[in-house]
Amino acid sequence: MKKIHIVGLGLLGGSFALALKRVLPHIVFTGYDNNQKNLEDALNLGIIDEIKQKADPDTDIIILSTPADTLTFLLKECLDNINENTLVIDFGSAKSKLCKSVEDHPKRHQFLAGHPIAGTEYSGPKAAKSDLLENKVFIICEMEKTDIHLKAKAYEVLEALNMKIRFMDPEEHDSQLAFVSHLSHISSFMLGKTVLDKMEDDRNIFDMAGSGFASTVRLAKSSPAMWAPIIQENKKNILEALSMYILNLSKFRDKILADDYEGIYHEMEKINKIKDILDLK
């Protein structure tokens, strides 16, 4: 492994580079971002060693870490132009449409559909952290479609980062992520909107906000440039998740309307079991 090229020098792409530089310092990182400030920051922070719009012919791995709605075009462009020894890995949060878009591409075997389950509410190269990916899960979809020798390059860097590899079907990935990730962000954004709307009547409402509100609304600080495309790319599954969530909210509201506080207690008690699941993670 000698050279890695990163397209999209934000939180994930930047954290990936910083982490690998720490454990595999011999690797040369080149990269590109449409945002000129991101390019400059990535170079100054040592995320990349050189700015390059296109990967060099001898690049081992190309990482695509851009908004979800840009990945189909970028992936096809990369596959059209890479040499036979280069592997392309995407970091996208939606997999079904992307995998389907290249299922008949003659170089499909040079693509690995990946998703690191890691992140924060911050974005850009300055948000990158060398330990962000440490011991985190890395999902691989359609593993069998990637060339075995090229796949070994991916395993080399993922093992160097101590990441836990999991294998999933693209549709299963998108369905599950809609519930445990995408819905969480939408809920946080909408809680933020609800309180901001209330603030129009009560300018001092945020004086009452404690740590519970701060932790629940934290994800509302996430980048719309990242999350609007994810919602677009995973529309069907997100609508299903939202429908179930709205139904549960409506049922909870109905219990309050009916003064069914015993029912509310028992409902919350049942939901408390989630702590047993999360404590095992």
pLDDT in tens, 47-78: 999 999 999 999 999 999 999 999 999 999 99
Mean pLDDT, residues 16-26: 95
Tokens of 249: 């909210």
Length of the chain: 281
Question: What are the phi and psi torsion angles at 112 (to 5°)?
Answer: -120, 120
Supply the Cα-derived Rg of the chain in whole angstroms: 21
Higher pLDDT, 95 or 277: 95
Tokens of 268: 């919350």
Helix or strand (DSSP H, E) at 22: helix 11-23
110 contacts: CB under 8 Å, gap ≥ 6:
79, 82, 84, 86, 87, 88, 146, 147, 150
Percent of the chain beyond pLDDT 90?
86
138 contacts: CB under 8 Å, gap ≥ 6:
114, 115, 116, 117, 158, 163, 164, 165, 166
**203 pLDDT tier (thresholds 50, 70, 90):** low
**280 pLDDT tier (thresholds 50, 70, 90):** low
**276 pLDDT tier (thresholds 50, 70, 90):** confident
Residue 281 has pLDDT above 60, yes or no: no
Helix or strand (DSSP H, E) at 168: strand 164-168
Mean pLDDT, residues 85-112: 97
Cα 37 to Cα 4, 103, 222, distances in angstroms: 21, 35, 19
For residue 224, give the amino acid letter.
P
Supply the pLDDT for residue 268.
94
Residue 227 has pLDDT above 70, yes or no: yes
Q: What is the mean pLDDT of the chain?
A: 94
Tokens of 170: 């693209």
Please return the burial class of 122, using the count of CB atoms within 10 Å of its CB with bins 0-12, 13-18 and 19+.
middle
Residue 116 has pLDDT above 60, yes or no: yes
Supply the pLDDT for residue 195.
86
Distance CA 235, CA 232 (A): 5
Mean pLDDT, residues 136-161: 96
Q: List 137's β-bridge partners, or say none.
A: 164
Task: Delineate the domains of the chain, giving CATH numbers in brackets.
Answer: 3-168 (3.40.50.720), 172-278 (1.10.3660.10)
Supply the pLDDT for residue 197.
86
Cα 210 to Cα 32, 194, 214, 217, distances in angstroms: 40, 16, 6, 11
Q: How many CB atoms lie within 10 A of CB 36?
A: 9
Residue 110 has pLDDT above 60, yes or no: yes
- Is the distance from CB of 98 to CB of 124 less than 8 angstroms? no
Mean pLDDT, residues 272-278: 85
- pTM, two decimals, is 0.91
